[in-house]
Structure 1
C-alpha cells in the first residue's frame, strides 16, 4: 500500500536580514535555512536533528509560516501554504499545530487551563460552544491530567504537566500533523519518557503525523520512523531510523552518533571529535559546508557543493550529501588527522 504524502517542502529558504549603517539598510543575511527539500507521509514520525543553530526550529516555524519563508514552497495535502493569505493560513492551522520547547513561555500565565483550551477551540470553531467544557475534560484526561485541574493556572503545574497542557492545546482542534519543537528537551529524563510515551499513544489513537525537532539522538532513535540530519541550514542526510543509526553515511552524522553516551563502562566505541566551531550562517563556507570540520575533506569539498544522492544500504535506502560516501565506507579514504580514535567511554 502506497504511503500518503502529507507534507512536501521544496527549496525552502529562510534568510534573516542584517541591518547596518546610518540608513539601516540590509547589509547581509543570516542564512538560517538554505534550500532544503523533504517529504513527510501520513502517520509517520520524521525527526530533524543537528547541532544548535543548524536551522531545525527555523524550518518548523517556516513551515507553519510563523516566520514568512524567503523562498520555496510548502505543500500540505497538495495545498501551497506559502500562497495563502493570513486569513486562509489561520484556517489551515487547524490541521497543523506546534508544541513549543518551553511550555511556560508558550501559554498565557493569566489564563486557566480551561481558558487556554477553550481559546484554541473558539479560534478554530472546532467544537460547538455548549460542548467545549466536556471536550476540555476529555482532553485533560487524554494527556494524563485530571478534571479538577481545569481551573488552575499554569504556575500551579510542574514542567511535565505544563507540557501536557501544551499537547492538549494542540489536540484541541483535531490536527492531522503536529510539529514538536524540542518538545521534551526542557524536561527531566523520567518526565521525558512519560511525554514521549504519551505522544506515541496519541499518534496511534488519533492517527497523527509528527515532525519532531530535537538535538537529543537518544530521543530521536526512540520515536522516529525517518531522520533528517541538518548542518548549517542544509540537509546532509535523510534515511530510515535503522539506516541512520546503524549505517550512517555522512561524516557529520557519524560524528553526532559517536557522541551518544553508552551506559556500559567496558564498552569501546569510536569517538569522532569535530574540531572548531560551527561556521557563521552569515557567511557559510563554499562547497560542502562541513568541509571546515570534516576529517575526510578533500580539495573538491572546498569548491563543489555535494547534492543529496541516494545510497542503498542493508537497512534500506537513504540519501546523503557527500562526494566521498563510497570511499569512506570502503576505507579507501582515511581521515586527515587523528581526531578519530577508539576511546573507552
Structure 2
C-alpha cells in the first residue's frame, strides 16, 4: 500500500511488492539452503521533485532496497516501475540506456572512487558511456560540474587521495550529475563525514535539487539528518516498512512503537527529553529466522498475543500509514 505525496505530483518511481532474498549455502548435503529475507514485500511511490527518506537500524534492508531499485542486485520478486517501464524486466542493454536517469551516491567517498583515476577521468568516463555531450564539449561540462559541487577547476587532474572526505563526496555527487539524472539514490551519503561537513553536503544536495529539479531517495540511519532534508519518511524494520508518513506527521505524531523508539534516541540537550528515551530490549532478530506475526513483537513494549500470531496490515490515512494492530 502506498501513501500519497503531500504535494500532488506525478509518481516518477513505483515500487510494488519488492522482495530481495539471498540464499546461503550451508555446506550440508541433505539440508536445504537458507534464505535471508533482506527486503520482504515492500511497496511505495517516489514522487517527482520530492525527497523520500528511508530510515532504520543497520540490517533493516534500506540500502538493499536502493540497490534493488537500480538493479545492482536483481530483485527476487516485485516490480520497479520507472516512467512506465518495469526495470526488473529490462535486459542489460535496455538498462544501460536508462541508467543515466537513475544514479547513486555511495556511502564511502574513499571506496567509491577509483584511486588510480583522476577526477577528469572519473567524470568523463560516465559522460562517454552515456553519450551526454560531444567530445569537444567535455571541458565545458567538466567546469560546469565542478561549479555545481563547489570544487576548483584545478581539481580535474588530481587523484582521489589528494582530497578530504567531504571533497571526495563532492566528486561523487559530480559523477552522479555528469549524466543528467532525474532520480538520485543517496545511500548513507553523509554518514561517513564529520558533522560540520555533513551540513555542507546536505545544503549542497538541497540547492542542487532545486536548481536541477532532481528527485531523491535518501537512505540514512540518522533521523536528525532525515528531518533536515526530507519531504516524506519511510521507517523500515527487518525488511519491512512499518511506517510511512510526511515528515511533519512522522516527527510530531509517530504511530509505530519502533518509530517512537528511534525518535527518542535523537541526541538532545534537553534533560527531560533524554529522560523519556525508549530503550528497546533485546537484539534485532536474525533475518534467517524472522519472528512470526509482527516482526517487531520480540522487542515491542506493547506487544500482545495477537502480535505474536498475526502479521498486522498497513492502516491509516492518506498521508500516514502504520503497520501495527494498535495504532
- TM-score in terms of structure 1 length: 0.91
In structure 2, the partner of 1:130 is 136
- What does residue 54 of structure 1 align with? 60
Q: Which fold has the larger relative contact order, with Cα–Cα distance below 8 Å and residues 6 or more apart in sequence?
A: 2
For residue 72 of structure 2, the aligned residue among 66, 74, 79 is 66
**Contact residue 291 and residue 298 of structure 2 kept, 8 A:** yes
Which one is further off, 134-143 or 275-284? 134-143
Distance 2:194 2:30 in 1: 44
Q: Which moved more, 1:1-10 or 1:36-45?
A: 1-10
C-alpha spacing 1:115/1:268, structure 2 compared with 1 (3 Å): closer
Aligned to 1:224: 230
The runs of 5 or more residues in structure 2 that have no matched partner are 1-6
Taking the aligned partners of 1:284 and 1:322, their CA distance within structure 2 comes to 17
Q: Paired residue for 1:205?
A: 211
Kindly indicate whether residue 189 of structure 2 is the aligned counterpart of residue 173 of structure 1. Answer: no
Deviation at 1:309, TM superposition (A): 1.1
Cα pair distance change 1:182/1:207, threshold 3 Å = same
Within the candidate set 103, 112, 115, 1:109 is matched to 115
| In the alignment, structure 1 residue 300 sits paired with structure 2 residue 306 | yes
| Secondary structure, aligned partner of 2:293 | coil
Given that residues 103 and 162 in structure 1 are in contact (C-alpha distance below 8 angstroms), is that contact kept between their aligned partners in structure 2? yes
Q: Tell me which residue corresponds to 2:248.
A: 242
SS at match of 1:213: strand
Cα displacement (A) at 1:92: 1.0
Corresponding pairs, count: 321
Which of 33, 39, 45 aligns to 1:33? It is 39
2:287 to 281, 290, 301: 281
Unaligned segments of structure 1, at least 5 residues: 326-345
- Contact between 2:21 and 2:76, CA under 8 Å: does it hold in 1? yes
Looking at structure 2, the residues matched to 26 and 186 of structure 1 have their Cα atoms a distance apart, in angstroms, of: 39
**Are 2:156 and 1:154 aligned?**
no
Question: RMSD in angstroms over aligned alpha carbons?
Answer: 1.4
**1:22, 1:297 → 2: CA distance?**
37
Q: Aligned partners of 1:180 and 1:24: how far apart in 2?
A: 42
Work out whether residues 101 and 182 of structure 2, in 8 Å CA contact, stay in contact via their aligned partners in 1: yes
Runs of 4+ in 1 over 3 A off after TM superposition: 22-26, 264-269
SS across alignment from 2:186: strand
* Residue equivalent to 2:90: 84
